[in-house]
Amino acid sequence: MYLPQERVTNADLSAIMDYDVESYLAEKGIGVRYRAAPNEATSDMGVRAAREALLRAGLVPEDVDLIILATDTPDFISPPTSAVIQHKLGATNAGAFDINAACTDETIALALGAHYIALEPGIDHVLVIGAYGMTKWLDWRPYGESVSKVLAMLFSDGAGAVVLSPSEEAGYLSSKMLTEGSYWDTYGIYLGTGQPPTPTMIETRRHCLRFHENGHRVPADFNSSRWPRLLRETLRVANCTPDDLNLVLMNQVDLSTVRITLEGLGLPMDRTHWVADRFGYAGSASVFMALYDAVEQGKLSAGDLVAFCTSGAGFVLSTALFRWR
Q: pLDDT tens digit string along 46-82? A: 999 999 999 999 999 999 999 999 999 999 999 999 9
CATH number, position 85: 3.40.47.10
Predicted confidence band at 151 (pLDDT cuts at 50, 70, 90)? confident
Mean pLDDT to the nearest integer, 216-242: 94
The letter for the amino acid at 141 is R
- 20 has a pLDDT exceeding 80: no
Q: What angle do CA 301, 169, 299 make, to 5 degrees?
A: 10
Q: Which of 38-47, 66-75, 142-151 has the lowest mean pLDDT?
A: 142-151
Note whether 144 and 194 are same-domain residues. no
Is residue 101 included in any domain, yes or no?
A: yes
d(CA 102, CA 108): 11
d(CA 266, CA 261): 9
Is residue 188 included in any domain, yes or no?
A: yes
Q: Look up the domain containing 108 and give its range.
A: 6-164
Domain total of the chain:
2
d(CA 268, CA 286): 21
Note whether 187 and 317 are same-domain residues. yes
- 143 has a pLDDT exceeding 60: no
Note whether 261 and 309 are same-domain residues. yes
Is residue 198 included in any domain, yes or no?
A: yes
Task: Name the domain boundary from 164, 194, 212.
Answer: 164
Mean pLDDT to the nearest integer, 263-282: 96
Note whether 63 and 116 are same-domain residues. yes
Is residue 1 included in any domain, yes or no?
A: no
d(CA 107, CA 116): 15
According to the model, what pLDDT value does residue 147 have? 56
Note whether 244 and 108 are same-domain residues. no
pTM of the model: 0.95
Is residue 41 included in any domain, yes or no?
A: yes
Note whether 44 and 190 are same-domain residues. no
